Amino acid sequence: MSENQNILLIQTAFIGDVVLTTPMIRALRKCKPGAKITVMVKPEARAFVESLEEIDEVLVIDKKKAHRGLGMLKLIRDIRKRNFRILLSPHQSHRTSIIAWLSGIPTRFGYRSAGFSMAYHHRLKRPMELPEIHRLLRFLKDSICPDVSLEDDIPHLEETETGRHEAQELLKELNIRSPILLGCSSVWATKRWTPHGFAELARDLIKKYKSDVLLIGSPADADVADQIIKVAREFVGEDGLRRIHNVCGKTSLPGLFSLMKRSQFLVSNDSAPVHFGCAARIPVVALFGPTVPSLGYAPIAPRTAVAELEGLYCRPCGTHGSHICPEGHFRCMRELTPAMVEEKILEVIN
Ligand code: SF4
């Protein structure tokens, strides 16, 4: 490895963004086969990134614990002693820019729209007209890999041993095989489809595909899933109810990914599970309400589709949704019917 090929890529955004960065990581390895590639991520992304064969080392930034306050100095020392020559930072926060600046890495690439962008020697344009995956590939093209193609754009993750074990154990415990997944999570309330919508869809899917339905999400989403089951009680018989399972928080993220690999298809709010589903190569229908695909986060993979209320005057009402509908009627999600979603399911599974 020549000195100039010691590269640090910083991606400390949400886990969904890390999944969207995987085509960039793959392209970086292809373009710099002899380089040492280190990726810095948050703790929750560590297991996934470690399992990618394109990466030599993973650095973890734990903003909430180890690297809070003065702990940040330890992280900077760790970065400095590795003697990186090139830094790629497609993450736009002030904090990341400050880390980049203090790292002393001699060639630093970041976005000109990033907070404290003067930390970077090369400030690149973020092409907002492209999907996020293509923006990241373009970052690479405009920085150190001019020959990168934007076509190799499907996210990829590897199963981990622990994840595989967790998924197998969960399916064994529930005594089911090949379930259908409903991703009811989102930190933004307006990005969540209605409990009634999910409940009706679950009822129809159980009947049509003779399959169990798992409501997936983080531990924080368990209440939302319970609400869906509560609504389902009104019109799903006892038999049907037994086939709807709230598994929010029952697996780690690698476990969730392995669960997806063993599932028929996924219907999910516009949130991280959509990108996991793409990486797992299963059919995915993404539900878009206050956001729209042109913001850059629609699924990119074969057998994927978006269900949305096209032409609604108030869409999009923000870049990532909000907690309350600014117009007060929440039509973008209330008028998205199970029939519209089922039509999209047929498109992706056939
Ligand atoms: S303003 Fe429109 S797009 Fe935004 S949450 Fe309300 S209904 Fe949805």
Q: What is the DSSP string of 316-348?
A: --SSS--SS-TTSS-HHHHT--HHHHHHHHHHH
Ligand 1 atom nearest residue 327's Cα? 1
pLDDT at site 32: 96
**Pairwise CA distance, residues 132 & 124, whole Å:** 15
Owning domain of residue 174: 161-349
**178 and 316 housed in the same domain:** yes
**129 and 207 housed in the same domain:** no
Residue 149 falls inside a structural domain: no
Distance from the Cα of residue 1 to its chain's centroid: 32
Cis geometry, peptide bond prior to residue 179 (ω within 30 degrees of 0): no
In the reported structure, the alpha carbon of residue 227 is separated from the centroid of ligand 1 by a whole-number distance in angstroms of 22
How confident is the model over 66-81, as pLDDT tens digits?
A: 667 778 888 999 999 9
**137 and 181 housed in the same domain:** no
Q: Which residue type occupies 333?
A: M
Last residue of a domain, one of 143, 177, 202: 143
Residue 156 falls inside a structural domain: no
In the reported structure, the alpha carbon of residue 68 is separated from the centroid of ligand 1 by a whole-number distance in angstroms of 36
With bands split at pLDDT 50, 70 and 90, how would you rate the model's confidence at 4?
low
Which residue's CA is minimally distant from atom 7 of ligand 1?
Answer: 330
Residue 86 falls inside a structural domain: yes
- Comparing CA positions, the residue from 259, 227, 232, 231 lying closest to residue 243 is 232
Ligand 1 atom nearest residue 333's Cα? 8
Residue 71 falls inside a structural domain: yes
The pair of structure tokens assigned to 243 is 């086939």
Q: What is the DSSP string of 154-212?
A: -------HHHHHHHHHHHHHHT-SS-EEEE---SSGGGSPPHHHHHHHHHHHHHHH---
Residue 115 falls inside a structural domain: yes
How confident is the model over 10-24, as pLDDT tens digits?
A: 999 889 999 999 999
Given a cut of 70, whether residue 349 has pLDDT beyond it is yes
**54 and 136 housed in the same domain:** yes
Last residue of a domain, one of 92, 115, 143: 143
Given a cut of 90, whether residue 60 has pLDDT beyond it is yes
Q: How many degrees, rounded to 5, is the angle at CA 127 between CA 149 and CA 283?
A: 60
Are 170 and 255 spatial neighbours (Cβ–Cβ below 8 Å)?
yes
Pocket residues: Cβ below 6 A from ligand 1: 190, 289-290, 314-315, 317, 325-327, 329-332
In the reported structure, the alpha carbon of residue 18 is separated from the centroid of ligand 1 by a whole-number distance in angstroms of 27
CATH code of 137's domain: 3.40.50.2000
Which residue's CA is minimally distant from atom 2 of ligand 1?
Answer: 314
DSSP 248: T
Residue 154 falls inside a structural domain: no
**309 and 224 housed in the same domain:** yes
Q: Is 7 helix (H, G, I), strand (E, B) or coil?
A: strand
Residue 261 has a CB neighbour count (10 Å cut-off) of 17
**68 and 182 housed in the same domain:** no
How confident is the model over 87-123, as pLDDT tens digits?
A: 999 999 999 999 999 999 999 999 999 999 999 999 9
Distance from the Cα of residue 214 to its chain's centroid: 19
**101 and 245 housed in the same domain:** no
Given a cut of 60, whether residue 2 has pLDDT beyond it is no
In the reported structure, the alpha carbon of residue 69 is separated from the centroid of ligand 1 by a whole-number distance in angstroms of 38
**Pairwise CA distance, residues 32 & 83, whole Å:** 18
How confident is the model over 116-147, as pLDDT tens digits?
A: 999 999 999 999 999 999 999 999 999 999 99
**170 and 91 housed in the same domain:** no
In the reported structure, the alpha carbon of residue 204 is separated from the centroid of ligand 1 by a whole-number distance in angstroms of 26
For residue 138, report the phi and psi dihedrals to the nearest 5 degrees: -65, -35
Q: How many domains does the chain have?
A: 2
In the reported structure, the alpha carbon of residue 213 is separated from the centroid of ligand 1 by a whole-number distance in angstroms of 28
**201 and 102 housed in the same domain:** no
Residue 151 falls inside a structural domain: no
pLDDT at site 330: 97
**337 and 234 housed in the same domain:** yes
In the predicted model, what is the mean pLDDT of the chain?
94
Residues in the chain: 350
Last residue of a domain, one of 89, 116, 143: 143
Residue 1 has a CB neighbour count (10 Å cut-off) of 11
With bands split at pLDDT 50, 70 and 90, how would you rate the model's confidence at 1?
low
Ligand 1 atom nearest residue 290's Cα? 3
The pair of structure tokens assigned to 54 is 């394109």
Residue 153 falls inside a structural domain: no
**114 and 165 housed in the same domain:** no
**240 and 305 housed in the same domain:** yes
How confident is the model over 312-347, as pLDDT tens digits?
A: 999 999 888 899 999 999 999 999 999 999 999 999
Ligand 1 atom nearest residue 330's Cα? 7
